[in-house]
Amino acid sequence: MKYLRYLENNLWLTALLAFFVALATRYLVTFFIFLNLNFPFQRYDSYIYVLKSLEILKGDWSPMVTHSIGWPIFLAPFFYFFRGVSIFENIVYGTLFTIFTSSLIVFPLLYLGKQLLLNRRAIVVLALAFALNFFLILPETSAIIIITEYLFTFLLLLTLIFIIKSRDKPLFLLAASVVGGLAYWVRPNGIFLVPIIFFSYFLLARRS
Q: Is 78 exposed, middle or buried (0-12, 13-18, 19+ CB in 10 A)?
A: middle
Residue 187 backbone phi and psi in degrees, to 5: -140, 130
Q: Give how far the C-alpha of residue 42 lies from the chain's centroid of Cα atoms, to the nearest Å.
A: 21
> What secondary structure does DSSP assign to 124-135, as a single string?
HHHHHHHHH-HH
136 band by pLDDT with thresholds 50, 70 and 90 = low
Give the dihedral sign, CA 111/116/118/120. negative
Which one-letter amino acid corresponds to residue 143? A
Strand partners for 144: 42
pTM here is 0.84
Residue 144 has pLDDT above 60, yes or no: no
Average pLDDT over residues 139-143: 49
Average pLDDT over residues 88-117: 86
Spatial contact of 49 and 160, defined as CB atoms under 8 Å apart: no
Q: Degrees (nearest 5) of the Cα angle 70, 71, 76?
A: 100
pLDDT of residue 194: 72
